[in-house]
DNA sequence: TCGATGACCTCTA
DNA sequence: ATAGAGGCCATCG
């Protein structure tokens, strides 16, 4: 997906230029953030993966927490499919019953992904299909 | 420089 | 299935 990548870059450019304002751009790791955002943006509809998987696919093995951070600071403007990213074992990481928790489950089911007790069946996790 | 803090992970019991 | 411990790593005050 070459197109998606370049348009993503264009989208990020104005964000970075706003400088002093905290918009959403993280201090230094813009390269890492872009890589993570890029991977997340490529997760196909109806498919899910884990934080660790996203980090690995972005060339940052062991940086699962950074994947989470990337999502937390991601500009809404990017419209990333954040709901397709789950914790280890296909678990929704938000506190059960929280707003985000329900929203994520709702979005997943809307894409035909089975969610039961805050989890997605292991078989549906497509970490390896990222790179 | 340091300790606290996460949308985390894995192993063990 | 659940709980706790320990590990990991960038960010922040």
Identify protein residues whose C-beta is within 7 angstroms of any atom in strand B: A 50-52, 64-65, 67-69, 71-72, 74, 82, 85, 87-88, 93-94, 100
A27 touches strand C (CB under 7 A): yes
* Nucleotides of strand B within 7 Å of the protein's CB atoms: 6-10
The DSSP-derived string for A20-80 is: TS-SS--SSTHHHHHHHHHHHHTSPTT-BEEHHHHHHHTT-TT-HHHHHHHHHH--GGG--
- Residue A23's pLDDT is 43
- A17-71 confidence digits (pLDDT tens): 443 333 444 555 688 999 999 999 999 999 999 999 999 999 999 999 999 999 9
Q: Which nucleotide is nearest to A55 (CA to C1')?
A: B8
- A84-101 confidence digits (pLDDT tens): 999 999 999 999 999 999
pLDDT band at A121 (very low <50, low <70, confident <90, very high): very high
What pTM value is reported for the model? 0.84
């Amino acid at each position: 997906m070459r197109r998606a990548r370049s348009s993503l870059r264009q989208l990020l450019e104005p964000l970075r230029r706003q400088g002093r304002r905290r918009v959403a751009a993280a201090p230094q790791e813009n390269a890492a953030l872009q890589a993570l955002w890029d991977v997340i943006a490529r997760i196909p509809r109806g498919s899910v993966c884990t934080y660790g998987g996203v980090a690995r696919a972005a060339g940052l093995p062991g940086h699962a927490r950074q994947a989470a951070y990337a999502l937390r600071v991601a500009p809404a403007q990017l419209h990333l499919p954040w709901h397709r990213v789950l914790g280890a074992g296909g678990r929704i990481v938000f506190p059960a019953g929280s707003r985000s928790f329900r929203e994520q489950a709702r979005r997943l089911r809307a894409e035909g992904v089975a969610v039961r007790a805050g989890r997605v069946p292991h078989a549906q996790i497509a970490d390896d299909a990222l790179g």
